[in-house]
Amino acid sequence: MNPLAPRVQRRRRTVLSAMCAIAPWSLWLRGGRAVATHAAVEQVKAAYLLKFPDFVEWPPRTFSTANSPFVIAVSGADDVYVELREMASGSRVLGRAVEVLRLQNPEPGIVTQLVFVGKDRAGQIPAWVDAYAGRPVVIVADTAGALESGAALNFVEIDNRLRFEAAPAAAERSGLRLSSRLLGVAERVLKTRS
């Protein structure tokens, strides 16, 4: 027997457990074939945005007080914003209440831990990265080339399924560390920023 087999099986179970938490929203099955609807995709993105923080190591300076909420800012992506507001109501992230903000442009004076930049604001990714440089903020995007523009996480659709890709170096520049469990299920991991 392969000595790594139990470890691999444990890892698969752990990853599957994490992904099953968001699977109900991911796809509708029709005739044995997976078919993603726009609403279902937006729900999955919102669910991912609420789950991603659990797979990030946050420095102690992330929150100003023990009661500070976990703040998610959304730029563009109105459908994701609506779904996220609904899902976040009464939810907790990292044991904290969740606050969801809608921002059109980067506002460095606003404290947030996660920013989601929708496709309709893709050109602003570098501005968001610059606005929150050196602060414990995860920038998540939804467009091709987002990792190369400085985002730490990016949604991609492959074979009608929502996946994500990751750039650990982008997170590290913000004083954060993406967990190996998260990186293990990423569709692509960008090792360095271009």
Tokens of 165: 């890709």
Span 179-188, pLDDT tens digits: 999 999 999 9
Judge if pTM exceeds 0.85: no
Span 126-155, pLDDT tens digits: 999 999 999 999 999 999 999 999 999 999
Neighbours of 110 (CB within 10 A): 13
Question: Does residue 185 sit within a domain?
Answer: yes
Question: Does residue 10 sit within a domain?
Answer: yes
Domain span at residue 13? 5-189
Span 34-74, pLDDT tens digits: 445 667 899 999 999 999 999 999 999 999 999 999 999 99
Question: Does residue 141 sit within a domain?
Answer: yes
Question: Does residue 71 sit within a domain?
Answer: yes
Task: Output the domain CATH number for residue 18.
Answer: 3.40.50.2300
Question: Does residue 194 sit within a domain?
Answer: no
Provide φ and ψ at 30, rounded to 5°. -135, 115
At residue 191, the pLDDT reads: 86
Q: How many domains does the chain have?
A: 1
Q: Is 81 exposed, middle or buried (0-12, 13-18, 19+ CB in 10 A)?
A: buried
Answer for the pair 100, 114: CB distance below 8 angstroms, yes or no: no
Question: Does residue 163 sit within a domain?
Answer: yes
Question: Does residue 28 sit within a domain?
Answer: yes
Question: Does residue 164 sit within a domain?
Answer: yes
